[in-house]
Amino acid sequence: MALSLPLALAALVAARLLLSGAAEARVLLTLDDFGAVGDGIANDTQAFLDAWSAACTSNEQAVLAVPPGKAYRIWPVQLSGPCKKKLKLMISGTIVAPASPDEWAGRDPMKWLYIYGVDDLSVSGGGTIDGMGQEWWASTCKRKKTQPCYAGPRPKAVHFEECRGVSVQGVTLQNGQQFHLTFTRCSDVKASFLRVIAPADSPNTDGIHLNDSSHVRIMDNLISTGDDCVSMVGNCSDVRVKDISCGPGHGISIGSLGKNRSTDMVENVKVDTCLLTNTTNGVRIKSWQGGMGFARNLRFESIVMKNVSNPIIIDQYYCDQPTPCANQFQA
């Protein structure tokens, strides 16, 4: 079972997955080719953008490589498509965010590595994406109980939006400012052989989060964060979650759904062969009062839980706000 795979073996599997398709690629580009320093201090953002542009516009299939043994500090970027050919982003080194939230002044506070409108992209390589979220967590009202505290939005570390045919395999995502890996309005997604880690008390650091996405496979992942290991909201369908080692964190969640009287529809979800250890919750479905839509054809099976406080939760009165939610039940 994949839950017992050593991390080195998981990385090797991911590397083989990359190499199996390497023969298709004709162009190899590295961040260093575009002037990146890779010392973990210098601003390598423009080199990253230039390398992405060259790879995305190449008339031949390209591999964009983040070389091993180096750390590239990248400020918030948008990597946009469509690209001319299938593209491989091979992260063998480390991509690291600026540590201070002040670096987001004048920028979208919800984005760091934002990939929009890119089809047929694969990410692999055995490297690390580090969101450096410590200062973000320390300033949030969930952690800081005295004023002033920060209640605003935080970046999603790696956020795919309007993408199809995306594969993320064999990398480590750690210390996300908020969610680590997010897919919004995406289809045909694979997320596997990933290691997602953040401290147990890091707020809202979900491992993998889905929103309005379909045909998703989340398999063979080790997730240890401060919130849900896997979560999905909005209109998600045809989702398979399998062979997940989860904990600590808040378990595996569907919802919350129907906030602010919205209409959400989640269907055809199967979660199986998972190990949840030292989590607050096990498997959970949660919805706000007043919402519309449905959650149907949901299947949870072959799930082992150890030291889980709330193994199974179905909550149709979910209320995550400082003041009590008004009861909207009508007989």
Residues catalogued as catalytic: 227, 250
Q: Are 146 and 173 in contact (CB under 8 A)?
A: no
Q: Are 84 and 58 in contact (CB under 8 A)?
A: yes
Q: Are 191 and 165 in contact (CB under 8 A)?
A: no
Q: Which residue's entry shows tokens 């990146």?
A: 36
Q: How far apart are the first and last CA of the chain?
A: 48
Q: Are 85 and 59 in contact (CB under 8 A)?
A: yes
Q: Which residue's entry shows tokens 């839509």?
A: 293
Per the DSSP assignment, residues forming a β-bridge with 90 are: 65, 124
Distance from C-alpha of 249 to C-alpha of 274, rounded to nearest angstrom: 14
Output phi, psi for 296, to 5 deg.
-140, 160
Q: 21's torsion region: left (phi>0), alpha (psi -120 to 50) or beta?
A: alpha
Q: 46's torsion region: left (phi>0), alpha (psi -120 to 50) or beta?
A: alpha
- The sign of the dihedral angle between the CA atoms of 158, 189, 204, 227 is negative
Q: Are 87 and 55 in contact (CB under 8 A)?
A: yes
DSSP state for residue 279 in the 8-state scheme: B
- The sign of the dihedral angle between the CA atoms of 329, 292, 163, 270 is positive
Omega cis (within 30) before 4: no
Distance from C-alpha of 199 to C-alpha of 225, rounded to nearest angstrom: 6
